[in-house]
Amino acid sequence: MSNALKSLMALGLVVAVSACQQAPEDDFVVVEPEPITMEPAPTGKYGKM
């Protein structure tokens, strides 16, 4: 076989092996949400209409 064909086959083998490798897993980060606060009840002069 010619050297070009051998090189092409070797390159194809490398590409196939690298394509079959598992992708690295992403880190899973858990962010705790901020607590929900209640709106203050209206009081004072402008509280009731």
**First-to-last C-alpha distance (Å) of the chain:** 95
Stretch (H or E) spanning 16: helix 3-20
Is residue 11 within 8 A of residue 19, CB to CB? The reply is no
pTM over 0.75: no
6 vs 20, which has greater pLDDT?
6
pLDDT digits (tens, 9 = 90+) for 17-39: 888 776 667 788 888 888 888 88
For the chain, what is the radius of gyration of the CA atoms? Answer: 32
Provide the mean pLDDT of the chain: 80
